[in-house]
């Protein structure tokens, strides 16, 4: 893929970018642009024009900006005051990558199911959005998800682009896992603005389990971190299987161990289940020779993660495992587990309200986007009491599926069906284009679908961006697979009868 702009323009832009970097090095740009200057912002004023310079001089600039966008996605809650406006760290990277993608030639390929779901997302949710209240965050998050997915899809379609995407996912998830381990050991919060690492987690920190601190990485909460790490593990493991050299393979296995350890530390039960199921499904979908080779690696990774997590967390892990097997039981368990059981009992009530009171009584368009919280508070007495005492801070249906059904009715159900159908088709076709990496993406999708059963963290923009990376990579793989299938059919005169999922 090459940029569809002339070389003189690119060289002129590169020259201007180099001059801008030199000007930024004096510190003038930082002072004029940012309301609160810092060393990090000073570095960014230099790196930004240098990135533009590289985009104009390297062969595949989309790889640079798309990879940087993927790594930065979990940090997008970090904002800077730029020219009087709050700007997220991901915005300039997304704009740059999107501009390069639009100016670049696109490989041949046929549109798939995920693309259809993306195009119809806003039209199908138009009525529920009109019925909703304060739905601006939902709109911006959905728009972000679609934009990031499109950029990642364009990157994954390039020759070698899929390796760039999953490599960036590996870097991003490993960084988040390492931050989680550091937070758990030191008890420090992440602060990228100033005095990083000096602020302790508050004594009344909401997300604790007994005496165990549940780290968040750069995400808003530990469940969000758990979801992001869970969907990243299968693709990273698949890339380790595909690695051509032992040094790369060992590095990727170490990344899986760090990501898995961070995942264990979140104590997010459904993320654990999703990651484990995703790894198993990904391994089963591998080509037969790779399938035999991956089992020892998988066992070693699980054992390594289990040992590391047990050393750092200790007995809290056994309590969380017990709550998976008996989620609402309060017999013969610790006080912490009784608290978890009470929360799980509330979750069952939230599901009932979302399905019976919201969806079944308002089946066409639901109760409106972002109306679930007051709807639940009016119908679940313990939730209203929790709001008054400050023990509950955010109310939702504790299920992505039930949240969408309750707030969007049949419109949202149609979108979910299109999304699931698109995932299946792109997994099937993606396995033709990338037999090993496609299996990893399939495992990531399984992890995602399981994580969605018990929470609604995709409302958080960093989580939505991470999900978009997975869906974009899958859409790109599916598009290549369909084109390859079409080319083979044209060459042979007969349709292909190979179905990797059959």
Number of structural domains (the chain) is 1
Domain presence at residue 173: yes
Return d(Cα 435, Cα 205) in angstroms, integer. 44
What is the per-residue pLDDT for 108? 65
Domain presence at residue 416: no
Strands 79-82 and 85-88 turn out to be antiparallel
| Distances, alpha carbon 34 to alpha carbons 28, 45, 84, in Å | 10, 10, 8
Return d(Cα 176, Cα 429) in angstroms, integer. 31
Instruction: Read off the pTM.
Output: 0.85
| Rg for the chain, CA atoms, rounded | 23
Domain presence at residue 138: yes
What is the per-residue pLDDT for 498? 44
Return d(Cα 159, Cα 185) in angstroms, integer. 41
In total, the chain counts a number of residues equal to 502
| Distances, alpha carbon 160 to alpha carbons 51, 54, 60, 80, 99, in Å | 21, 19, 11, 34, 20
Alpha-carbon torsion angle 29, 30, 31, 32, nearest 10: 50
Return d(Cα 119, Cα 111) in angstroms, integer. 11
Return d(Cα 426, Cα 475) in angstroms, integer. 6
Task: Decide: 90 and 400 in contact? Cβ < 8 Å.
Answer: no
Question: Pick from 44, 30, 130, 126: which is nearest to 83 by CA?
Answer: 30
Return d(Cα 498, Cα 502) in angstroms, integer. 8
Domain presence at residue 381: no
List CB contacts of 13: < 8 A, sequence separation 6 or more.
52, 56
- Which stretches of the chain score pLDDT less than 50? 1-6, 195-197, 388-389, 496-502
Domain presence at residue 347: no
The torsion angles phi and psi of 111, rounded to 5 degrees, stand at -65, 140
What is the per-residue pLDDT for 117? 92
- The range of the structural domain enclosing residue 112 comes to 7-327+421-450+459-492
Domain presence at residue 401: no
Domain presence at residue 497: no
pLDDT tens, residue by residue, 133-167: 878 889 999 999 999 999 999 999 988 999 999 99
Helix (H) or strand (E) holding 81: strand 79-82
Domain presence at residue 195: yes
What is the per-residue pLDDT for 302? 73
């Amino acid at each position: 893929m090459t940029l569809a702009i002339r070389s003189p323009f690119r060289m002129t832009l590169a020259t201007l970018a180099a001059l801008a970097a030199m000007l930024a090095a004096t510190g003038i740009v930082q002072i004029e642009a940012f309301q609160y200057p810092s060393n990090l912002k000073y570095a960014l004023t230099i790196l930004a024009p240098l990135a533009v310079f590289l985009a104009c001089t390297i062969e595949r600039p989309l790889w640079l900006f798309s990879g940087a966008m993927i790594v930065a996605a979990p940090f997008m809650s970090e904002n800077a005051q730029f020219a009087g406006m709050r700007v997220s760290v991901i915005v300039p990277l997304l704009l740059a990558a999107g501009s390069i993608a639009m100016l670049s030639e696109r490989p041949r390929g046929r549109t798939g199911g995920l693309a259809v779901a993306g195009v119809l997302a806003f039209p199908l949710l138009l009525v529920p959005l009109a019925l909703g209240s304060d739905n601006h965050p939902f709109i911006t998050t959905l728009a972000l998800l679609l934009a990031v997915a499109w950029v990642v899809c364009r990157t994954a379609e390039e020759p070698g682009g899929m390796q760039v995407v999953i490599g960036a996912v590996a870097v991003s998830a490993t960084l988040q896992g390492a931050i989680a381990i550091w937070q758990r050991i030191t008890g420090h919060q992440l602060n990228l603005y100033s005095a990083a690492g000096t602020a302790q987690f508050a004594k009344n920190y909401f997300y604790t389990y007994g005496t165990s601190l549940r780290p968040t990485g750069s995400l808003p909460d530990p469940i969000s971190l758990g979801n992001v790490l869970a969907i990243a593990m299968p693709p990273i493991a698949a890339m380790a299987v595909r690695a051509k050299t032992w040094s790369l393979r060992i590095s990727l296995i170490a990344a899986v161990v760090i990501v898995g350890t961070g995942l264990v530390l979140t104590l997010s039960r459904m993320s654990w289940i999703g990651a484990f199921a995703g790894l198993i499904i990904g391994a089963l979908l591998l080509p037969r020779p790779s399938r035999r080779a991956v089992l020892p690696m998988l066992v070693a990774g699980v054992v390594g993660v289990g040992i590391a997590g047990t050393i750092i967390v200790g007995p809290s892990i056994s309590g969380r495992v017990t709550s998976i097997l008996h989620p609402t039981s309060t017999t013969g368990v610790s006080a912490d587990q009784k608290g978890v059981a009470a929360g799980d009992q509330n979750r069952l009530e939230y599901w009932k309200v979302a399905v019976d009171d919201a969806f079944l009584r308002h089946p066409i368009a639901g109760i409106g986007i972002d109306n679930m919280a007051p709807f639940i508070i009016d119908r679940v007495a313990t939730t209203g009491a929790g709001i008054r005492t400050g023990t509950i801070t955010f109310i939702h249906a504790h299920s992505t599926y039930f949240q969408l059904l309750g707030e969007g009715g049949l419109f949202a159900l149609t979108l979910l069906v299109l999304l699931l159908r698109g995932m299946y088709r792109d997994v099937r076709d993606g396995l033709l284009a990338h037999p090993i990496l496609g299996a990893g993406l399939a495992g990531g999708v399984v992890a995602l679908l399981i994580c969605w059963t018990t929470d609604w963290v995709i409302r958080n923009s960093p989580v939505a961006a991470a999900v978009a990376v997975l869906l974009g990579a899958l859409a790109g793989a599916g598009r290549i697979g369909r084109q390859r299938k079409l080319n083979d059919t044209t060459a042979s005169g007969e349709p292909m009868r190979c179905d990797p999922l059959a």
